[in-house]
């Protein structure tokens, strides 16, 4: 039923796009288009549910229609599907909307009127058309004709449209998103889990932006909260608002916001076809960092320079690659300290003195030398020792939940090991961490009853992987627990 209903909406769109002269087409054109075309007009807060459904079905029709040029009098030059990149160009004033294909042809009826091409499409757009159609368009005495590409004769039919929608649903069961895009989102290397969720929402145009809120809540659009643009769409916040466009132009990709497709799915498809796997990971990392920095600017008033955004994205990618070396390989624990027990738990914390005193906690649990569980979290600590205490506390809680009978908890913090093993007086503990130190010591003594648990000190070099993961958790703002092998 969904496909059939969408087919009927596509039929109505086809009638408007083809310029049929029926009464209802004239009514809808006068009420909603306002001298625009069906491909670029949006949906207002006061429009009917029928018009909203038609605008939603428009994306499928966009991909499957094309103008067959005859005399060039009917097809307008800008914003109409007569070449492959037509959606990148939109008219900027009423005069440009009226320019037809016939007006772009040279005075002798051959080639292009170069000056008009540059005026309408810009230098690079004119260059693209000149290379695509080196001899211009050969006009004939026939009228321009809009054709529906899935149909054999070019005419729109309910049957052809229905089969098109059914085939798309069968091939793309993931909410209309292609399998290749899904694979890129969920299987790209060097991408943190939270960024994958963000990508999935971005490609579905489901990020919390003003355009989404105005459409769902039926209210008037407020526009971009930063630059004041009339529409705050997903494409705008990630690529087109001033600070984001500066980031992408300064990146190794050198992306220009005015040359991007009009939808996220088209952009993802372009990226998959033109970038290798390593470049895709970098591209995803920059997009994720742009979103985080924009959120900080909106809600905290913190402005980030473009080069700082690129540096943060590169730094996050480095730590994610280090993390994957741990999670994707069989890591053998060091022979240092006690290795007679089956379970060994390596802990560490990364602390930085900022406005929020951010800390990253890492707990890595090994079974007979093989990593089987990890816990990464961003927290708040008052000092480096306080952060180490929080990591130790979480390790004890996890081991208790798993009912591990014997384990060696290893830390490179000598002060922590001395506090846990009663090798120092509690009065000598840092005042910032005294309260938590008392609680952690009581938790340790209570839960190690009838369990063979010990806490030992190891060198920082031996605790390399836990150290890397703690930094990764702090920088990437992680909060996750996972298993690499079903032992428990």
The domain locations on the chain are 2-160, 179-325, 331-483
335 confidence band (pLDDT: 50, 70, 90): very low
pLDDT of 233 above 80: yes
Round to whole Å and give the CA distance between 83 and 67.
8
Q: Quick: pLDDT tens for 292-305.
A: 999 888 888 888 88
Alpha carbon distance 271, 262 (integer Å): 14
Dist CA 44 CA 176 (whole Å)? 25
Whole-number pLDDT of residue 85: 75
Predicted confidence band of residue 396 (pLDDT cuts 50, 70, 90): very high
Number of residues that make up the chain = 488
pLDDT confidence bin for 330, thresholds 50/70/90: very low
- Examine the pLDDT at 410 and tell me if it is beyond 90: yes
Residue tagged 């005193």 (tokens): 357
Q: Which of 163-167, 222-226, 228-232, 392-396 has the lowest mean pLDDT?
A: 163-167
CA-based R_g, the chain, Å = 30
CB atoms near residue 57 (< 10 Å)? 21
**237 vs 126, which has greater pLDDT?**
237
- Please list, residue by residue across 263-272, b when 16 or more beta carbons sit within 10 angstroms of its beta carbon and e when fewer do: bbbbbbbebe
Question: Alpha-carbon distance 393 to 387, whole Å?
Answer: 10
Give the C-alpha distances (Å, rounded to integers) separating 298 from 103, 203, 273, 307, 406: 46, 22, 33, 19, 49
pLDDT at 120 over 70: yes
pLDDT per residue over 153-175, tens digit each? Answer: 888 888 888 888 877 654 444 45
100-122 mean pLDDT:
80
Note the pLDDT tens digit of each residue in 42-63.
666 677 777 778 887 887 888 8
Residue 213 makes CB contacts below 8 A (sequence gap 6+) with 219
Of the candidates 382, 416, 426, 378, the one whose C-alpha atom is nearest the C-alpha of residue 396 is 416
Q: How confident is the model at residue 392 (pLDDT cuts 50, 70, 90)?
A: very high
Query: Could you tell me the pLDDT band of residue 320, with boundaries at 50, 70 and 90?
Result: low
Indicate whether 354 pLDDT > 70: no
Q: Which residue has the higher pLDDT, 181 or 417?
A: 417
Segment 124-153 shows an average pLDDT of 81
Of residues 436 and 322, the one with the higher pLDDT is 436
* Angstrom distance (rounded) from CA 454 to CA 341: 10
Whether 240 contacts 260, CB under 8 Å: yes
The CA distances from residue 233 to 177, 215, 434, 475, in Å, are 19, 11, 49, 28
455 falls in which pLDDT band (50, 70, 90)? very high
> What 3 state SS string does the chain have?
CHHHHHHHHHHHHHHHHCCCCCHHHHHHHHHHHCCCCCCCCCCCCCCCHHHHHHHHHHHHHHCCEEEECCCCCCCECCCCCCCCCHHHCCCCCHHHHCCEHHHHECCCCCCECHHHHHHHHHHHHHHHHHHHCCCCCCCCCCCCEEEECCCCCCCCCHHHHHHHHHHHHHHCCECCECHHHHHHHHHCCCCCHHHHHHHHHHHCCCCCCHHHHHHHHCCCCCCCCCCCCCCCCHHHHHHHCHHHHHHHHHCCCCCCHHHCCCCHHHHHHHHHHHCCHHHHHHHHHHHHHHHHHHHHHHHCCCCCCHHHHHHHHHHHHHHHHHHHHHHCCCCCCCCCCCCCCCEEEEEEEEECCCCCCEEEEEEEEEECCEEEEEEEEEEECCCHHHHHHHHHHHHHHHHHHHCCCEEEEEECCHHHHHHHCCCCCHHHCCHHHHHHHHHHHHHHHHHCCCCEEEEEECCCCCCHHHHHHHHHHHHHCCEEEEECCCCC
- Mean pLDDT over all residues of the chain? 80
Do residues 484 and 325 touch, judged by C-beta distance below 8 A? no
Bridge partners (DSSP) listed for residue 343? 367, 407
Mean pLDDT of 203-209: 86
User: What's the whole-number mean pLDDT along residues 74-82?
Assistant: 83
Is residue 437 pLDDT above 60, yes or no? Answer: yes
Neighbour count for residue 141 (Cβ, 10 Å) = 6
- What's residue 169's pLDDT? 54
* Tokens, residue 375: 């816990």
At 135, list the tokens. Answer: 């001899």
pLDDT at 329 over 50: no
Return the CATH fold of 331-483: Nucleotidyltransferase; domain 5 (3.30.420)
Structure tokens at 98: 């009226």
What confidence category does residue 176 fall into, taking pLDDT thresholds of 50, 70 and 90? low
């Amino acid at each position: 039923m969904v496909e059939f209903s969408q087919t009927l909406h596509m039929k109505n769109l086809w009638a408007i796009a083809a310029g049929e002269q029926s009464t209802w087409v004239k009514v809808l054109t006068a009420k909603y288009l306002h001298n625009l075309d069906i491909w670029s007009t949006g949906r207002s807060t006061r429009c009917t549910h029928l018009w909203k459904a038609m605008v939603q079905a428009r994306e499928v029709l966009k991909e499957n229609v094309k103008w067959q040029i005859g005399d060039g009098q009917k097809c307008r030059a800008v914003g109409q599907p007569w070449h492959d990149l037509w959606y990148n160009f939109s008219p900027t004033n009423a005069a440009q909307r009226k320019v037809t294909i016939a007006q772009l042809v040279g005075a002798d009826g051959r080639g292009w009127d170069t000056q008009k091409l540059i005026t309408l499409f810009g230098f690079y757009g004119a260059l693209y058309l000149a290379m695509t159609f080196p001899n211009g368009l050969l006009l004939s005495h026939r009228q321009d004709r809009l054709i529906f590409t899935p149909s054999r004769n070019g005419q729109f039919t309910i049957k052809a449209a229905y089969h098109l929608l059914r085939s798309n649903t069968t091939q793309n069961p993931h909410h209309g998103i292609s399998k290749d895009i899904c694979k890129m989102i969920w299987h790209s290397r060097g991408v943190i889990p939270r960024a994958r969720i963000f990508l999935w929402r971005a490609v579905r145009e489901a990020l919390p932006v003003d355009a989404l809120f105005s459409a769902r809540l039926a209210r008037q659009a407020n526009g971009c909260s930063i630059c004041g643009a009339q529409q705050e769409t997903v494409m705008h916040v990630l690529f087109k608002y001033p600070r984001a466009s500066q980031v992408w132009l300064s990146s190794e990709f050198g992306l220009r916001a005015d040359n991007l497709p009009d939808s996220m799915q088209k952009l993802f498809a372009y990226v998959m076809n033109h970038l290798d796997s390593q470049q895709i990971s970098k591209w995803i990392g920059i997009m994720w960092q742009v979103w985080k920095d924009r959120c900080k600017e909106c809600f905290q008033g913190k402005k980030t320079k473009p080069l700082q955004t690129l540096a943060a994205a590169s730094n996050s990618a480095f730590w994610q690659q280090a993390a994957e070396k741990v999670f994707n390989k069989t890591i053998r624990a060091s022979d240092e300290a006690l290795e007679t027990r089956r379970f060994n738990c390596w802990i560490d914390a990364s602390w930085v003195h900022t406005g929020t005193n951010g800390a990253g906690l890492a707990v890595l649990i090994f079974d007979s030398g093989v990593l089987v569980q990890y816990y990464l979290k961003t927290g708040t600590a008052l000092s480096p020792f306080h952060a180490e205490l929080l990591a130790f506390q979480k390790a004890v809680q996890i081991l208790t939940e798993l009912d591990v009978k014997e384990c060696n908890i290893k830390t490179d913090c000598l002060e922590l090991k001395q506090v846990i093993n009663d090798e120092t007086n509690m009065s000598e503990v840092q005042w910032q961490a005294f309260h938590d130190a008392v609680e952690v010591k009581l938790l340790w003594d209570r839960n190690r009853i009838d369990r063979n648990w010990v806490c030992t000190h190891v060198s920082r070099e031996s605790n390399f992987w836990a150290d890397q993961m703690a930094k990764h958790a702090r920088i990437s703002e992680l909060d996750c627990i996972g298993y690499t092998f079903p032992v428990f």
